Amino acid sequence: MLVNKKYIKRHKMGFVYFHWINAISFFLLFLTALPLYTDTFRFLYDMFGAATLQYAHRVFAVIFIANPIIGLVTAHDGIRRLVKEVLSFGRDDIVFNQKFPAELIGKEPEGIPPQSFYNGGEKMNILLQAVIWGLLVISGAVLWFGEGLVSPAIRTWMIPLHSICAGFGFAAAIGHIYLALGVNPDSMQGMCDGMVKASYAAKHHGKWIDELVAEGKVTREEIKQAVKN
């Protein structure tokens, strides 16, 4: 299970692609809509034309919607694990979320219980992103296809809902990037080649390591040696 006696496989590449397609399509959707909200980005209309950006927004929307559906086939193991973990949110995850903020300001929080494949913070982020994805898709679809089919009053409410969800999604994404690059940079590799350091996994996902040991995929001694390296 260990690679080069140091790394452990966390994600299959299908799931890595699913993650990045979701992230890139969201940011491109956000970017192509920005000129509607602030004159600072009006230059994008001047460069590409308003109609071009609106068309691009719809293309990226289709990718954003299709990606998780395709992922059910190409990344089914990762998505199944993701759903299972989110639905198993428990006391240890609550304790993690209570103590983790100290790590954001450079402190080493004490008393954090061992975490599973996804820690409590990741589970909360996954749930938040899933809700945002659903609301963006519903509100966007109503705005795109709802004319003549959906009440004008409802379509009017979809505009602020779509905007608010995009704003929350962007804020959550920035926080996610900060945590990945600034707080736990070792986690970033997991979304590049699917591998993470065994030392990182042992510290941040102890229950997952216990699971791998119980399944015979790695030995406790291998983990100890990897942590030393």
pTM higher than 0.85: yes
Q: How far is CA 5 from CA 1, 194, 208, in A?
A: 9, 16, 18
Instruction: Taking residues 101-126, report their average pLDDT.
Output: 87
- The tokens describing 102, both together, are 């100290």
What pLDDT does residue 159 have? Answer: 94
Q: How confident is the model at residue 38 (pLDDT cuts 50, 70, 90)?
A: confident
* Residue pointed to by tokens 């491109």: 28
Q: Specify whether the CB–CB gap between 100 and 121 falls below 8 A.
A: yes
Q: Which strands form 7-9's sheet, in the order they lie side by side?
A: 2-3, 7-9, 195-197
Q: How confident is the model at residue 9 (pLDDT cuts 50, 70, 90)?
A: very high
3-state secondary structure the chain: CEECCCEEECCCHHHHHHHHHHHHHHHHHHHHHHHHCCHHHCHHHHHHCHHHHHHHHHHHHHHHHHHHHHHHHHCHHHHHHHHHHHHCCCHHHHHHHHHCHHHHCCCCCCCCCCCCCCCHHHHHHHHHHHHHHHHHHHHHHHHHHCCCCCCHHHHHHHHHHHHHHHHHHHHHHHHHHHHHHHHCHHHHHHHCCCEEEHHHHHHHCHHHHHHHHHCCCCCHHHHHHHHHC
What pLDDT does residue 183 have? Answer: 85
Q: Specify whether the CB–CB gap between 81 and 10 falls below 8 A.
A: no
The Cα–Cα gap between 127 and 82 comes to: 10
Higher pLDDT, 93 or 39: 93
What pLDDT does residue 106 have? Answer: 67
For the chain, give the number of residues. Answer: 229
Q: Which of 106-110, 168-172, 184-188, 224-228 has the highest mean pLDDT?
A: 168-172
